[in-house]
Structure formats: C-alpha cells, structure tokens
C-alpha cells in the first residue's frame, strides 16, 4: 500500500520490495492474481484494468476493508521516487518481484520502469522463474536483477542433497550460469534452506557468491538474532517482514 511503502522508506531500510502481477492492461502491486486474497474484490487481477484496480480497497488483517486502495506499478514507482530521496538514496530504492507474468505485457512492464524517472541503477528486478527473468533481461539488458535461487534450492532440498562439498558446488554452478543471462547484481537465498543446510554450507555459499562479485540476500529473516548472524557470516542484505526489529 502507499502507506506501507512510505513508512518503509522513511524507516531507513536499504530497499523496499514490492510484489507485482499483471492486470488486464498493465501491472499492479500484489502478491497474488486472486483479488480475494488481500482485497474486498473477487475475481482475478487479469480481469481488471488499471483504472478499475485503483478503485479496489485492500483488506486489513481482520478481513475488513481499509481506506487503502491497490496500486498500479506506475503508482508504486511514483511513490518511491517522491519519498526515497531520489538520487541521494544510497544503493537500490525499490525491488520488483514478479509473482506471475503475462508475456504479452512484459514490454509494458519495461516501458513503465523506463518512463518512471527512477534511474535503472536504483531498481532491482527479481522473479522465481528463470525463464521470465531472461525474457525481461532481453527486453532491457541494463536493468539490474536479483537472481532468485528458488529453483535450485527446492531441487536440492526435495532430493535431500546435503553433501557438504557437492551441494555448494551445484548451487554455485546454477548461480554462475544464470547470472550471465541477466544483469545479476544480487543473489537471493532462502532462510529456511540455510537453516537446514547449516552455517558451514551457508558460509561457503556466501563466500562463493562474493567471489563472483555479487551481493547476497537471505529471505525471509524473522528475528534479530538471525539478522545479525547473516551479517556476521557475509550476507549483504536480509529481507524482513518486520524491519522494526532492527
């Protein structure tokens, strides 16, 4: 929501992450294409225009409608530009996480970013699906990316490939391969997997990522203890749902 983005930027966090999905004629800020998940409306985001999206109110945690309305991607970028101190903001300003895509609207996504007035160096793109990331990177090779590692992580955990020597090399091989296909600047790592694999493996992964000249992020971190631990062992960022903890 507008209030959430403004409060996050005002709190001094390094970067604000906003999930995006397509609507009928553009892109909006939402984690899910099902409107009933977080709004008073029903149906799918892909059935609504941007103008219709702006009229839909977001639900509070208790299920009641709030005074906040859904935002389009243009709205999000305008808010970030107005409240993120622009070029004075150190590092990235906003990260856009594509949760669902419509290939026919990916040109529109890139155009919206390019016409936002925010320098590309302040925007970070990410997506859990490597093929979507590659398509966006082809449309705009200069757009910085965070390499999402959900796919190799789920493969390794599903088949319980826990070998302390082999597993890090498999993971880092994926990073080396796909980082070249996008303008990757950051590599994201899943907190639950780091807990499962242990600190020894996590240190190897973070060191390997740093050796490639890439930053790293661990998500989602829910405690101050883990936030401090990842900083101590080499992570660049920690994604938190509650930045008030720090």
pLDDT at 192 over 60: yes
Residue 158: the pLDDT is 81
SS3 labels along 136-178: HHHHCCCCEEEEECHHHHHHHHHCCCCCCCHHHHHHHHHHHHH
Please compute the mean of the pLDDT values over residues 17-24 and round it to a whole number: 97
Q: How confident is the model at residue 11 (pLDDT cuts 50, 70, 90)?
A: confident
pLDDT at 150 over 70: yes
pLDDT at 143 over 60: yes
Q: How confident is the model at residue 189 (pLDDT cuts 50, 70, 90)?
A: very high
Residue 165: the pLDDT is 76
Q: How confident is the model at residue 87 (pLDDT cuts 50, 70, 90)?
A: very low
Query: Are the C-beta atoms of residues 215 and 235 closer than 8 Å to each other?
Result: no
Please compute the mean of the pLDDT values over residues 182-211 and round it to a whole number: 94
pLDDT at 217 over 90: yes
Please compute the mean of the pLDDT values over residues 127-140 and round it to a whole number: 95
Q: At what angle do helices 166-179 and 199-211 cross, to 10 degrees?
A: 30
d(CA 216, CA 206): 7
Residue 176: the pLDDT is 95
CA distances from 222 to 3, 30, 92, 229, 242 (A): 22, 21, 22, 12, 7
Mean pLDDT of the chain: 92
Residue 86: the pLDDT is 47
Q: Could you report the per-residue pLDDT of 27-56, keeping only the tens digit for each?
A: 999 999 999 999 999 999 999 999 999 999
pLDDT at 166 over 90: no
Element (H, E) at 128: none
Look at 238 and 166; give whichever has higher pLDDT. Answer: 238
Give which of 131, 141, 78 is closest to 110, Cα–Cα.
Answer: 141
Q: How confident is the model at residue 215 (pLDDT cuts 50, 70, 90)?
A: very high
Q: How confident is the model at residue 91 (pLDDT cuts 50, 70, 90)?
A: confident
d(CA 111, CA 87): 20
Residue 155: the pLDDT is 86
Residue 89: the pLDDT is 53
Query: Are the C-beta atoms of residues 167 and 149 closer than 8 Å to each other?
Result: no
Query: Are the C-beta atoms of residues 120 and 110 closer than 8 Å to each other?
Result: no
Show the tokens assigned to 171. Answer: 């993971």
3-state secondary structure (DSSP) of residue 126: strand
Look at 4 and 48; give whichever has higher pLDDT. Answer: 48
């Amino acid at each position: 929501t507008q209030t959430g983005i403004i409060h996050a930027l005002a709190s001094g966090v390094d970067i604000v992450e906003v999930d995006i999905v397509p609507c009928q004629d553009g892109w909006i800020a939402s984690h899910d294409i099902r409107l009933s998940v977080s709004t008073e409306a029903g149906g799918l985001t892909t059935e609504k225009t941007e103008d219709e999206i702006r009229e839909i109110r977001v639900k509070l945690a208790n299920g009641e409608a709030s005074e906040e309305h859904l935002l389009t991607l243009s709205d999000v970028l305008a808010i970030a530009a107005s409240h993120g101190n622009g070029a004075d903001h150190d590092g990235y300003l906003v990260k856009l996480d594509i949760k669902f895509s419509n290939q026919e609207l990916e040109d529109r996504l890139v155009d919206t970013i390019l016409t936002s007035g925010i320098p590309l160096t302040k925007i970070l793109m990410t997506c859990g699906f490597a093929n979507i990331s590659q398509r966006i990177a082809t449309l705009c090779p200069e757009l910085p990316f965070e390499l999402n590692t959900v796919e190799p992580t789920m493969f390794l955990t599903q088949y319980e490939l826990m070998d302390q020597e082999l597993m890090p090399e498999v993971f880092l091989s994926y990073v080396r391969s796909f980082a070249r296909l996008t303008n990757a600047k950051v590599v994201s790592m899943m907190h639950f997997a780091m807990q499962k694999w242990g600190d020894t493996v996590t240190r190897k992964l973070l060191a390997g990522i740093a050796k490639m000249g890439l930053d790293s992020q661990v998500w989602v971190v829910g405690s101050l203890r883990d936030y401090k631990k990842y900083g101590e062992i080499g992570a660049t960022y920690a994604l938190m749902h509650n930045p008030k903890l720090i």
